[in-house]
Amino acid sequence: MAEDKMPFIGKLIILIVIVGCLAGGYYFLAGKSSNSSSTPNDTPNSTSTSSNQWKGNAVEIGIAYGTEKKTWLEWAVQEFAKTPDGEKIKINLIPSGSQEGAQALVAGDKKIHVWAPASSLYKDTFVLDWQTKYNNNPILKEDS
């Protein structure tokens, strides 16, 4: 029984790492831009109830996924939304078949930032199509 849950846990950990990296990158970049644009009159309000309250626009991340992952992805997004970083990042889940998601990415769909296909069967075709169109590798890092 524990073997059945391992793929789910592994996928959940990967999703959390991806979202965490994106949140960390955004936090790092947003912090630099807000510090450089502050003026001497911009002083913290001492009567503020929470210094961690987000005041900017949320960053949106689109995740195209195989519908087999729907239940656990929806759960993970709901749990992430409860965190402080979840207030700053809106995750849009885009149900899509593996082939349709890959074709949308190659076509330049700007709504998709992460592609989580149902299986790796379509990966080679996707990589070949991407390399033909963009002359580079779409997968920056991959675990075997």
- d(C-alpha 140, C-alpha 76), whole Å: 24
- 52: which residues sit within 8 A by CB, 6+ positions away? 84
Amino acid identity of residue 125, one-letter, is T
- How many separate helices (H) and strands (E) can be counted in the chain? 5, 3
| pLDDT for res 119 | 83
Tell whether domain 2-33+58-134 is in CATH 3.30.410: no
Question: Phi first, then psi: what are they for 60, rounded to 5°?
Answer: -110, 135
- Write down the pTM of the prediction: 0.60
Q: Are 81 and 51 in contact (CB under 8 A)?
A: no
- 83: which residues sit within 8 A by CB, 6+ positions away? none
Reading the chain (144 residues) residue by residue, the pLDDT tens digits are: 445 555 766 676 777 778 777 777 777 666 654 444 444 444 444 333 334 555 678 899 999 998 888 999 999 999 999 999 898 999 999 999 888 999 999 999 999 999 888 888 888 999 999 999 999 999 887 776
